[in-house]
Structure 1
Amino acid sequence: MKRSIETLKENLMKIRTGRAHTGLLEHITVDYYGCPTPISQVAQLGLADARTITVQPWEKKMVAVVEKAIRNSDLGLNRLAKSFAFRCHPLTEERRRDLTKVVRSEGEETKVAIRNLRRDANNKVAALVKEKEISEDDERRSNTEIQKLTDKYIGEVDKLIAEKEKEIMTV
C-alpha cells in the first residue's frame, strides 16, 4: 500500500501546474546513439526562474535531439530565443479542469490498487482459517486491522488528490 502511495506521488509530480520544475521532463527519453535514454542522463536540468526550465546537453550533437524530444513530448513547452531554456505557459481554466480530471483518475487507480491488496490479504487470511492454522476470532481481528490500514491509505490518497487539485486550480 505504501508503494501505491509512492507511485501516486510520482505520477502527480508529472502533472504540470503552470510552474516549472525539472520533474516535468523526467519521463522524456531521447535517442542517444540508438538507445532510448532518460533526458536527465544526457543533459543537465535546472530552473532559471519560476517558469523557465534550463536544459544543457552534455554533448553538442545532442542539442537537436533533446530539443526534438521536448517538442514532441506534448508538454506545451516552448524554447526561448537565444538560450536552451524552455518556458512553461500559464494554464487556461479549461486545461486546469482537464488536469483535475486526470488527477482524480490517478487517485481512483491508486484506490483500486489498495483495495485489491486488501482483497488479497483477506483471501490469505480466509485460506489460513480454512487450513485451520488460525481461529475465526483471529480472522475477524485480522480483517479489522486490514480494513483500518486500507482506510488509512485511502485517506492519504484523498489528501494528496485534494492538495494537487488545489495547486492546479490556483492561478
Structure 2
Amino acid sequence: MSDEIEIDTDDLLRRMEGAMSALKTEFASLRTGRASGAMLDPVVVDAYGSPTPINQVGTVNVPEPRMVTINVWDKGLVNKVEKAIRESGLGINPQTNGTIIMLPIPELNEERRRELSKVAAQYAESARVAIRNVRRDGMDQVKKAKASGMSEDDVKFWENEVQELTNRQIALVDKALESKQAEIMQV
C-alpha cells in the first residue's frame, strides 16, 4: 500500500452510521401499540410563532404501557399542542385535563400492523439507499486515487474495504428492520 494515497474510511463509516441513526429515529416514531415518548418526536407545535417540538413546550411522560401524558408548561399552548397531535396522523385522540394532555394508545389491529410493517420496510430501504450512496462516494474516491497513480493491488484493497463497510452497515439495517417488524407484529 502506498502511504501518500489513502481513502478516508472513517468519514465513510461516520456517514453510514448517520444513515443508521436517522433510521433509528424514524423507527422510534412508529407506533407499535406500546406507548413511547419518541412517537411524538416528529410532531411540532406552532408555539410563539415558530414550529417547536412537543418536548420543548411540555414534559412528555409514559406513566403506563398504553398512555402518554404531556404536561404543557404554558396554559395558552394546550389547545395548539392538542391540535398538532390530532393533525399529526398518529391516529391518537388526545384528552385534555387542565394543562395535562393524555394520549391513550389504542390496540393495533392486524391491518394497521401490516401497514406499519410496510412503512418500517420503506424507512429501512431509504437507509440502505443512503448507505449505498456513501459507498458510491467511496468508490469514486478509489477511482480518483487510481487515476492519480494508486497501484492495482491498493485499488483492489480499498474497493474491498469500502464494500465490506457497506455490507456491515446494510446488515445492521436489515437486523434493525427485522426486530422492528417483530415488535410491530407482536400482539
TM-score by length of 1: 0.95
Residue matched to 2:165: 149
SS at match of 1:48: strand
Q: Does 1:42 align with 2:52?
A: no
Residue matched to 1:111: 128
Shift of 1:161: 0.2
2:94 aligned to which of 61, 79, 88: 79
Q: Distance in 2 between matches of 1:90 and 1:163?
A: 19
SS at match of 1:44: strand
Residue matched to 1:138: 154
Aligned length: 170
Matching residue's letter, 2:73:
W
Q: Distance in 2 between matches of 1:130 and 1:46?
A: 57
SS at match of 1:54: strand
SS at match of 1:11: helix
Structure 1, residues 3-51: CA drift from partner, whole Å, max 9, x if none? 1111111111111101111111111111112111111111111012101
1:21 aligned to which of 24, 36, 56: 36
Shift of 1:79: 2.6
Gaps of 5+ in 1: none
TM-score by length of 2: 0.87
Q: Does 1:170 align with 2:170?
A: no
Give the percent of matched residue pairs that are identical in Structure 1 and Structure 2: 41
Q: Distance in 1 between matches of 2:165 and 2:65?
A: 38
Shift of 1:126: 1.0
Shift of 1:81: 6.7
Residue matched to 1:88: 105
Moved more, 159-168 or 75-84: 75-84
Q: Distance in 2 between matches of 1:51 and 1:15?
A: 14
Structure 1 residue runs of 4 or more that deviate by more than 4 Å after TM superposition: none
C-alpha RMSD of matched pairs (Å): 1.2
